[in-house]
């Protein structure tokens, strides 16, 4: 099929991937109200078209924590992304490196932080959850530092996993582990391209970063069970303060929706926050990122960098988020759709598409650099 947009990558991934993987990528919590709101609220932001401006030179580049980026785009952390293509996190990190944008490795990735570091040359970011085992957390911080990770993304909006109906229906999770395994096996058999590329050639199917904690129980079937048992529900601001003391490189706090929480992050010394509702995968009914972003920017001013995610499906959406107050934008589902559809080449193509869409939007709005993107490019109706 001809691929020209994120929606096309989504359809290609749906055809290629077993349903338990596609539904995990595509789905949200409960009835997915927040997931849909992320997309619709962002799409509803109107931009001002301007004419007779000299747009012969367009510059998408920016800098973040001393790193020069070719565009204000960051690949967000996505759990078990490596199951969507052979050693998928490595492929995505390579594509991000070629495009000069950061890649963020999830705690619960298939490929370990060491594997990604060995396979790439540019530094990448590492994402960490608050876990009950503080010794393991200290170990992961040391491993990320040793692997040359240039920033830590500390995710705070998952003290307990959201309820995701799609995962239960697809066989990824549910009350009967045996029936889930049978369901996933049948899906794999009926998707032979994925079965060969990932099921056979993409082994080992283990959560590389947490394999030492899981021991022999480190396969995909243990993924959700491990998450629910090991997330620390007692997480509070003291934990963030402790992470700040241990991690000396840029610290980014992900999962902020409230201006007061954003202010706390700034006061405790975080270098950045990510305005995010976890892609609509946690609290269904929560506010969209686009809706809360302007208020958060007003609350923190320029005291802290702001990244945002949620509903971003195009370069136009990246510009919208920046006009609402973001310094850079994270993409999650979009890059995993591309990975599931075409592997590394897909992520490469997606980033090219998004950059082109950004340039087109900026030019037609009459701005020639990302530094010039602000609320003045938004139509008054919004």
Convert the pLDDT of each residue in 229-263 to its tens digit: 778 888 899 999 999 999 999 999 999 999 999 99
6-377 CATH fold: TIM Barrel (3.20.20)
The pair of structure tokens assigned to 122 is 């540019």
d(Cα 106, Cα 113) in Å, to the nearest integer?
A: 9
- Residue 273's H or E segment, with its range, is strand 272-275
The DSSP line for 139-185 is: HHHHHHHHTT--EEEEE-S-SSPPP-HHHHHHTSSSS-HHHHHHHHH
- In tens, the pLDDT along 338-350 reads 999 999 999 999 9
Catalytic residues: 278
Single pTM value for the model: 0.95
- The alpha carbons of the chain give a radius of gyration, in whole angstroms, of 20
Segments making up each domain of the chain, as ranges? 6-377
Q: In this prediction, what percent of the chain has a pLDDT beyond 70? A: 95
Q: Is residue 32 a contact partner of residue 373, using CB atoms and an 8 Å limit?
A: no
Average pLDDT (42-53) is: 97
DSSP β-ladder status, 73-75 and 328-331: parallel
Instruction: Give the pLDDT score at 183.
Output: 93
């Amino acid at each position: 099929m001809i691929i020209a947009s994120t929606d096309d990558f989504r359809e290609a991934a749906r055809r290629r991937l077993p349903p338990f993987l596609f539904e995990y990528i595509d789905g949200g919590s409960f009835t997915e109200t927040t997931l849909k709101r992320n997309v619709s609220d962002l799409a509803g932001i109107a931009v001002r078209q301007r004419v007779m401006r000299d747009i012969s030179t367009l510059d998408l580049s920016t800098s973040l924590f001393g790193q020069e980026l070719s565009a204000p785009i960051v690949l967000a952390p996505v759990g078990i992304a490596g199951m969507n293509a052979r050693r998928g996190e490595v492929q995505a990190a390579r594509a991000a490196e070629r495009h000069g944008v950061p890649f963020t490795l999830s705690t619960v990735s298939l490929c370990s932080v060491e594997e990604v570091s060995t396979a790439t040359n540019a530094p990448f970011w590492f994402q960490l959850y608050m876990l009950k085992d503080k010794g393991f957390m200290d170990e992961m911080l040391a491993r990320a530092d040793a692997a040359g990770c240039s920033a830590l993304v500390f995710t705070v909006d998952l003290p307990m996993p959201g309820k995701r109906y799609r995962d239960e229906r697809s066989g990824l999770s549910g009350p009967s582990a045996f029936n889930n395994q049978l369901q996933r096996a049948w899906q794999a058999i009926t998707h032979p391209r994925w079965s060969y590329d990932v099921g056979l050639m993409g082994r080992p199917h283990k959560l590389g970063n947490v394999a030492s904690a899981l021991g022999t129980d480190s396969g995909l079937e243990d993924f959700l069970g491990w998450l629910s048992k090991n997330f620390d529900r007692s997480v509070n601001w003291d934990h963030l303060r402790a992470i700040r003391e241990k991690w000396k490189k840029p610290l980014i706090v992900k999962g902020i929706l409230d201006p007061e929480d954003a202010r706390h992050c700034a006061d405790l010394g975080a270098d950045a926050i990510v305005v995010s509702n976890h892609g609509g995968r946690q609290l269904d009914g929560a506010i969209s990122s686009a809706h809360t972003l302007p208020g958060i920017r007003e609350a923190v001013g320029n005291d802290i960098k702001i990244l945002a995610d949620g509903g971003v499906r195009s370069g136009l959406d990246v510009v919208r988020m920046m006009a609402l107050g973001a310094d850079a934008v994270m993409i999650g589902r979009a890059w995993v759709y591309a990975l599931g559809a075409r592997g590394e080449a897909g992520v490469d193509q997606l980033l090219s598409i998004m950059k082109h869409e950004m340039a087109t939007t900026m030019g037609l709005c009459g701005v020639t650099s990302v530094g010039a993107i602000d609320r003045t490019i938004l139509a008054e109706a919004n």
